[in-house]
Amino acid sequence: MATQEVSGIAPPEQYVLPATKYCPNNKMPVLVYRDVLPSPRTPETAQAWIEKHGWFRAGILWPAVYRRHFHPNVHECYAIVSGSSEVLMGVGKFDDTESASSKQDDQPGLCLTLREGDVIVHPAGTGHSNISDEGNYRYLSFFPEGSPKWITENGDKPLDELTGVLDMIVQVPMPQDPVTGDKGHLVPIWGAVES
């Protein structure tokens, strides 16, 4: 679904990732906002900006995390405050994946480059991990206000062995947009999928 600019912020890139044997993903797309964090780009300014839109910081100023994982009970947002990273989206630990140099279309997973100033929103159940980083890559992680403590699954068990995971994913409530606040781009994009 195409959306128009909201508060001077261009619509995000959208990526729908199908379920794999080890990663449920979500029918709602991953959203990537390019170069939107305010200047100066510091952990403090990024945190203040995202938190005013109803998402709250979780954890440290994170370096690259190379372990494939997903959270079935929460949506998550990353604000990239320095450096860049290649990220692999949409796969679990035991899924065979496309390598960065491969062009096979039948392999699961999506490789994206995230850079300082970018914000990525991945819906509950979406697999994510870093595969390379440079320039002192650091990001902040946020969850919507009222979210429970996140559960981490590594994608090391087939989905049919993860009792309740799919039910958990569909019960995660619609958040407001972490970049523009209120409905922003996220609500009409994800809402169109839900309806």
Taking alpha carbons only, the member of 89, 132, 129 closest to residue 107 is: 89
Per-residue pLDDT, 114: 99
Question: pLDDT confidence of 3, banded at 50, 70, 90?
Answer: low
- Write the CB contacts of 184 (distance below 8 Å, at least 6 apart in sequence): 6, 7, 9, 53, 176, 177
Predicted local distance difference test score (pLDDT) of residue 128: 97
Alpha-carbon dihedral 46, 16, 126, 154, rounded to 10 degrees: -130
Segment 15-19 shows an average pLDDT of 96
Report the distance separating Cα 23 and Cα 157, nearest Å. Answer: 9
Share of the chain above pLDDT 90, in %: 84
| Mean pLDDT (whole number) for 8-37 | 96
* pTM of structure: 0.92
The mean pLDDT of 173-193, rounded to a whole number, is 94
**Closest C-alpha among 140, 159, 190, 178 to residue 9:** 178
Would you say residue 102 has pLDDT above 60? Answer: no
Mean per-residue pLDDT, 165-176? 95
pLDDT at 183: 82
Question: Going from the N-terminus, what domains does the chain have, and what CATH number goes with each?
Answer: 13-194 (2.60.120)
Mean pLDDT score, 32-42:
97
Mean pLDDT value of segment 161-176: 93
7 vs 81: CA distance, rounded Å: 21
Cβ atoms of 82 and 136 closer than 8 Å: yes
Q: Dihedral sign for Cα 22, 27, 32, 37, please.
A: negative
Helices then strands, each counted (H, E), the chain = 3, 7
**144 SS3 class:** strand
What is the overall mean pLDDT for the chain?
Answer: 92
Q: Which residues pair with 10 in a beta bridge?
A: none
Calpha distance 152→170 (Å, rounded): 16
pLDDT tens for 43-91 read 999 999 999 999 999 999 999 999 999 999 999 999 999 999 999 999 9
